[in-house]
Structure formats: structure tokens, C-alpha cells
Amino acid sequence: MFMTTCPKIRIVWVLLCVLLLCRNLRASRPNIIFILADDLGWNDVGFHGSGQIPTPNIDALAFSGILLDNYYVTPICTPSRSALMTGKHPIHTGMQHGVLKGAEARGLPLQEKLLPEYLRDLGYRTHIVGKWHLGFYKKEYTPTYRGFESHVGFWTGRHDYNDHTAMESPYWGMDMRRGLQPAWDLHGKYSTDVFTSESVTLIKNHNTTEPLFLYVAHAAVHSGNPYNPLPVPDKEAARFTDISNYNRRRYAGILSKLDQSVGDIVEALRVKGILNNSIIIFSTDNGGPAAGFNLNAASNWPLRGVKNTLWEGGVRGAGLIWYPKFNQPGRVAKQMFHITDWLPTLLTAAGGDVSNLTMDGMSLWNSLEEDTASPRDTILHNIDDEYGNSAITVGKWKLVQGTTYEGTWDGWYGPSGEEWIYNIGAVIGSLVGRAVTALGLNLTSTNIRKLQREVQVNCIWQNRSSSNCNPLVSSCLFNIEDDPCEQNNVASQNPQIVEELRKQILRWNATAVPPGNLIWDPRADPALWDHTWNNFGDYSVEIQSAS
Ligand SMILES: *[C@@H]1O[C@H](CO)[C@@H](O)[C@H](O)[C@H]1NC(C)=O
Ligand SMILES: *[C@@H]1O[C@H](CO)[C@@H](O)[C@H](O)[C@H]1NC(C)=O
Ligand SMILES: *[C@@H]1O[C@H](CO)[C@@H](O)[C@H](O)[C@H]1NC(C)=O
Ligand SMILES: *[C@@H]1O[C@H](CO)[C@@H](O)[C@H](O)[C@H]1NC(C)=O
Ligand SMILES: *[C@@H]1O[C@H](CO)[C@@H](O)[C@H](O)[C@H]1NC(C)=O
Ligand SMILES: *[C@@H]1O[C@H](CO)[C@@H](O)[C@H](O)[C@H]1NC(C)=O
């Protein structure tokens, strides 16, 4: 009907206008650069106050952006990455227990629509650099089949930063790829450098008529293989001879390379002329492996616990969001934010409509921008029936039921870094410091000191060897606002609150799907695949019975 009553010429005009409008919208959408550190502890970033390992570039983003102070991730790699990509809690995708091992024939379920796919719908160009860890046994599970146009990086949970092999005893194979192709040519090139130069090249070659989504998932600061757990260039380690603990010194060098990478990426955005329209997120994936956990040397001080525990040290994440167009950038956000919130939050920032999305994540874009209350007051940290633990925070109350390692990682693990003086000048003078100052942002020592005071964690007892909680005996309740270090179990004084939180965990549990973990598949053995971790499920192979 419309066709017959309307002259063709008008239709052409309408179409043209719609096209132009779409192009303009597309061009004005902000670029999104998501930098995910692996296993970085609460107290490893300088912006939480420690001067032991300088992270001036990361700190400059934090102090000129929004420092997320009430930010929670999940306790370990695969669940966190699944939550980031889907906006769903890992208990709803079967990714809640431990990590995905290289020899498991599973991946993040294919019916899930992922963040890059949503952003593609809005006209974004999408790239991932670095670690995937969401499945690869069939090619359909790998990044370039799941919304990303390109991938230079690795599929398993961690690799050696120089030879790029991943050891998951008894299996051992090379894990570094360009798309589906093994990247043998990168052998000997330090992973952090590989991912930085790939990111810089992608930014340099980006066509600015379209918005960019770049997901940089570093190997750093995860430990490598057992034969060289903390792979650091000698030159970097040598800068930290004042750190007497040998492993911590090597960790400092690895982290320092990560900080320089952040500087180089921001500088590339500046040179390209798109920093002023870019949102940058820097986040850890989970709490730090401290004191030899995973052969690593992170610090979650003064928070309790480590990676893969449900204590604050396992789940309260170091994170920030930076955007020069925020109202009053250079502030601390107290809004409760969960890693599942990134998907709807970033879609909102990109101009998408999230009103019909059904997922656990909530959009906090407006709350962050206007500094108004968070729509969220509850975070389920996890329900893991294999370990027999679960934890939930509702408002200021946190209930912890059971624990991960029979109680062996339930303490407080330093170092505090208190004896080091924080270098504010280095933050202002860093690559990022100069770039954000040139944009007119307020990166002054007065403001930095003010923000540092605001994010300081004050433990009520200041005594890391004491607590009246043993979750193997009974559930513990903490007032996280007053007792962020989880030292004072107040369960016996507040039985109704314990009961209410316990019920909430049961309600979540009723919606959970069972964990998808599988026993190892011998077809995965890299020895069968030219010594690479491969998409073994795409081929039929005869396995000789091992004798
Ligand atoms: C960038 O993309 C636009 C729109 O697709 C195109 O017209 C232009 O030629 C591209 N520029 C470059 C340098 O490729
Ligand atoms: C960002 O800066 C570039 C170059 O300096 C300028 O052309 C552009 O208009 C600016 N964009 C915004 C959104 O401010
Ligand atoms: C959301 O769902 C409602 C009800 O089904 C529908 O009317 C509306 O168009 C949907 N909005 C979007 C953006 O899809
Ligand atoms: C920068 O921050 C300081 C400290 O918060 C404040 O006093 C000052 O007014 C701010 N300057 C600008 C230009 O916003
Ligand atoms: C710390 O707690 C332990 C164990 O409860 C106790 O023995 C010790 O005296 C406390 N130290 C201080 C400085 O309060
Ligand atoms: C969750 O539900 C499963 C299956 O019904 C049950 O086996 C498990 O004990 C429940 N876990 C918790 C923490 O309630």
C-alpha cells in the first residue's frame, strides 16, 4: 500500500536519511577498550595505596576516571570471563566450578550471545588480544566464531610468556594463535609485548568512521609453567632489587610490564586522535594468588583470602572505568558493581537498548555517570557444591558458608607495602598522566591524595592472625562496611540476618544449572596435534589405549 501511494523518489530520500543517521550514530558511539589483568591482587595496584610496585599508568586512569571501590568479580578465571562475556552469573551457564582445563571437551555454551556480538549489532569493529579460556575443543567455541573479528593470543588458562607453551600435566603444548593458526613465529617474544604491539597496531589501523571494541586480556600477572613460574625479563626484575622477596621481585617486573602496556595503549589512542571518545576499563579477573598460591606472589592485603576463595581477597576486584566525558571524572564510585554488569553497562554507553535483556547483569551506566545509587544491592559470590562453599553479600551483610581448601587459604596475605612511599609525581608524569592532562582532566596531587584517602581500607582489628570465624564449623556473617577485612564474625548476634541470607542463597540455587566440568579427553593431548593445544573435537582420531 505504502509503495503504491508514495512516489519512489521519497522512499529513496527516506532510506538515504536513515542510512546517514545510522552512520552518524555509529561514528559517535564511544570506542571501548577493555583491559583485563589476570590474577592481579587488590593491593598490587598503586591506586589502592601501596607504593611497593609502581603502576603509574594504571593509577593515572583510576585517578582521572572513576575508581570502582565496591566492585566484585568472581573468584577465578573461567567464571569471570564467562560473566564478562554473557552478563550472566556463572551458576546460570554451568561455568561456576573452577577453570576450564585444556583437555575438557566443553566451552561456554554456544546458545549464549556474547558482548562482542551485541556490540557488532551496534556497528562496532571487535577484536580480542590475549587470553580466551572459554573453550576451544571445537572451532565454534573460539573467539573468531563468537563475535570477534580477530584474535592474537591463547586459548587455555595460562602459558609461558616466552615459549608460549601451556603445561597441564601430563599434557604439554604450544598455545599461541592468530585466529585458528598456530603462531610459531612469535616464539621467544614476551607475551605482554606481543599483546601490546598487536593492540597498538589494531588501534593504528582502525577506521575511525566506525566504533572500536578492543578486549585486551593479558597473560600478566598469572604465573607461567612450573619450570619458570614467574617469567620476567631480567632487566625488569633488576629494577626492583629493593624488594627482598625473590618471587615478589619477579612479580613486580611482570606487573611493571603490564603497566607500561596500559601506557602504550592509551598513547596509541591519543596519537590516533580517538582518546577523547574512548571508554577504558581496567580490571582484574579475580583476586590475587598470594604467598605461593599458584606459585605466584600477589598481595590482597589487608583483605582476607586469595584467588578461588569467596573471601574479599578472592572476589573484591581492583577496577576502574575511564571516560573523559563523565560528569566530574576523578572520583570514587561507592556503587555496588558486579562483573556481570559490564555487558549491559557498556551496551548502554554504546547507545544500545538493554531494557529487554534478561540477564543477571544490570546497567550501571547512568548511576556511574550521574553518581546516583546503584540499582544493585546483592551479589552472589558463588555457589559451588563441589567445594561445598557459597557466599552472598546483601547490602552491608556478607554470609560465608563453607570454604575452598579445607581452611588452608583462609588467612590474610601481604605484603602491605606500607614501607614504600607512593610516588604521585610518577603518576602525573606517566604516559597516561600526560595524555589525560592534555585532555583537560584534573590529575593533581591534591585530588590524588583525596581519592587515596577515600579508598583506604580500614580494618577494625588491624590484626591479621585473628578471627572468630571457622566456616568449616558454621556459617560466618560479616558487616562488610565496618569490617571489610572479615575479622569479626557476627553470626551469633544476628541469627535472623543469617537466616535471610541463607534463604537468598537457596533461591539463587534453585535457578542454577549444574557445573559443566568434564573429565579430561585424551584426544586433547597436544602430542597428537603437532605439539599444540588444538580444536581436537573437530577431527576424528583413534586413541591408542595408554598402557
Ligand atoms: C573507512 O570506512 C568508510 C566507510 O565504510 C570508507 O568510506 C572509507 O574509505 C574507509 N577509510 C579507509 C582509510 O579505509
Ligand atoms: C577528539 O579529538 C579529535 C582530534 O584532536 C577531534 O578532531 C575530535 O573532534 C574530538 N572528538 C570529540 C568527540 O571530542
Ligand atoms: C521490548 O519488548 C517489548 C514487549 O515485548 C516490545 O514492545 C519492545 O519493542 C521491545 N524493545 C526492544 C528495544 O526490542
Ligand atoms: C581538581 O581537584 C581538586 C581536589 O579535589 C579540586 O580542589 C579542584 O577544584 C579540581 N580542579 C578542577 C579544575 O576541577
Ligand atoms: C592478634 O591476634 C592473636 C590471635 O587472636 C593474638 O594472640 C595476638 O595477641 C593479637 N595481636 C595483637 C597485636 O592484638
Ligand atoms: C543446590 O542445589 C543442588 C541441587 O538441588 C543441591 O544438591 C545443593 O546441595 C544445593 N546447594 C546449596 C548451597 O544449597
* Rounded CA separation 229/226 (Å): 5
Q: Which ligand is nearest to the CA of 385?
A: 6
Q: Tell me, yes or no, if the pTM score tops 0.85.
A: yes
Write out the H or E segment, with its range, that includes residue 272.
helix 246-272
**What are the CA-CA distances from residue 95 to residues 339, 414, 514 (Å)?**
14, 30, 9
* C-alpha torsion 41→44→48→51, nearest 10: 160
Task: Check residue 460 and give its pLDDT.
Answer: 82
Q: State which fold the 29-454 domain adopts.
A: Alkaline Phosphatase, subunit A (3.40.720)
| Contact (Cβ atoms closer than 8 angstroms) between residue 53 and residue 240 | yes
Tell me what pLDDT residue 18 has: 55
- 358 close to ligand 3 (CB < 6 Angstrom): no
Residue with cell 551469633: 492
pLDDT value, residue 311: 98
Provide the percentage of residues in the chain whose pLDDT is more than 90: 91
How far away, in angstroms, is 352 Cα from ligand 3 center? 13
Torsion angle (degrees, nearest 10) of CA 66, 69, 70, 75: 110
Which ligand lies nearest the alpha carbon of 357? 3
- The three-state secondary structure class of 284 is strand
Burial 385-424 (b: 16+ CB within 10 A, else e): eebebbbbbeeebbbbbbbbeeeebbbbbbbebeebebeb
Ligand 3 nearest-atom number relative to CA 356: 1
Closest CA to 213 of 133, 155, 150, 258: 150
Asked if 364 and 345 touch (Cβ cutoff 8 Å), the reply is: yes
Closest ligand by atom to 389 CA:
6
Residue length of the chain: 547
pLDDT at position 494 is 98
Q: Whose CA is nearest to atom 5 of ligand 5?
A: 466
DSSP type of residue 316: B
Ligand 5 atom nearest to CA at 461: 14
Q: Could you tell me whether strands 337-338 and 378-384 are parallel, antiparallel, or unpaired per DSSP bridges?
A: unpaired
Per-residue pLDDT, 124: 98
Instruction: Determine which residue's CA is closest to atom 12 belonging to ligand 3.
Output: 356
22, 211, 305, 422 from 17: Cα distances, Å: 8, 20, 57, 55
Q: CA-CA distances (angstroms) from residue 452 to 46, 59, 433?
A: 10, 11, 16
Residues of the chain with pLDDT under 50: 1-6, 546-547
Reported as type and span, the H/E element at residue 178 is strand 177-178
Three-class SS of residue 115? helix
Q: Is 4 in the pocket of ligand 3 (CB under 6 A)?
A: no
- Please give the grid coordinates belonging to residue 386: 563441589
> Which ligand is closest in space to the CA of residue 466?
5
Ligand 4 centroid to Cα of residue 60, in Å, is 15
Mark residue 308 as left, alpha or beta (left: phi above 0; alpha: psi -120 to 50; beta: remaining).
Answer: left
- Out of 124, 209, 212, 272, mutate this one to test ligand 1's pocket (max ligand atoms within 8 Å of CB): namely 209
Residues with CB under 6 A from ligand 4: 442, 444, 446-447, 450
Count other Cβ atoms within 10 Å, centred on residue 444: 15
What spatial distance separates the first Cα and last Cα of the chain, rounded to whole Å? 75
pLDDT at 8 (0 to 100): 60
Query: What pLDDT is stored for residue 4 in this prediction?
Result: 43
If you take atom 3 of ligand 3, which residue's CA is the nearest one? 356
Cβ of residue 465 lying under 6 Å from some atom of ligand 5: yes
H-assigned helices in 273-399: 312-315, 342-349, 365-370
Nearest ligand, CA 23? 1
By most ligand atoms within 8 Å of CB, the mutation choice from 89, 385, 503, 513 for ligand 6 is 385
* Residue nearest (by alpha carbon) to ligand 6 atom 6: 385
**Rounded-to-integer distance, Cα 420 and Cα 402, Å:** 36
CB-count exposure of residue 450 (10 Å: 0-12, 13-18, 19+) = middle
Question: What are the catalytic residues?
Answer: 77, 133
- The answer to whether the CB of 207 is under 6 A from ligand 1 is yes
Q: CA 136, CA 119: separation in Å to the nearest integer?
A: 22
Q: Is 454 helix (H, G, I), strand (E, B) or coil?
A: helix
Q: Is the CB of 356 under 6 A from ligand 3?
A: yes
Q: What is the identity of the amino acid at 467?
A: S
- Residue whose CA is closest, atom 11 of ligand 3? 356
Least Cα distance to 47 among 484, 455, 481 occurs for 455
Which residue, by CA, sits nearest to atom 9 of ligand 6?
385
| Mean per-residue pLDDT of the chain | 94
**Which residue, chain included where needed, has cell 627482598?**
244
Q: What's residue 414's pLDDT?
A: 85
C-beta separation of 278 from 264 below 8 A: no
With the most atoms of ligand 4 within 8 angstroms of its CB, the residue from 444, 450, 451 to mutate is 444
Identify the residues whose C-beta falls under 6 Å from ligand 2. Answer: 273, 276-277
Per-residue CA distances from 6 to 13, 14, 16, 239, 360 (Å): 12, 11, 16, 73, 46
Q: Tell which one of 466, 468, 485 to mutate to probe ligand 5, the residue whose CB is within 8 A of the most ligand atoms.
A: 466
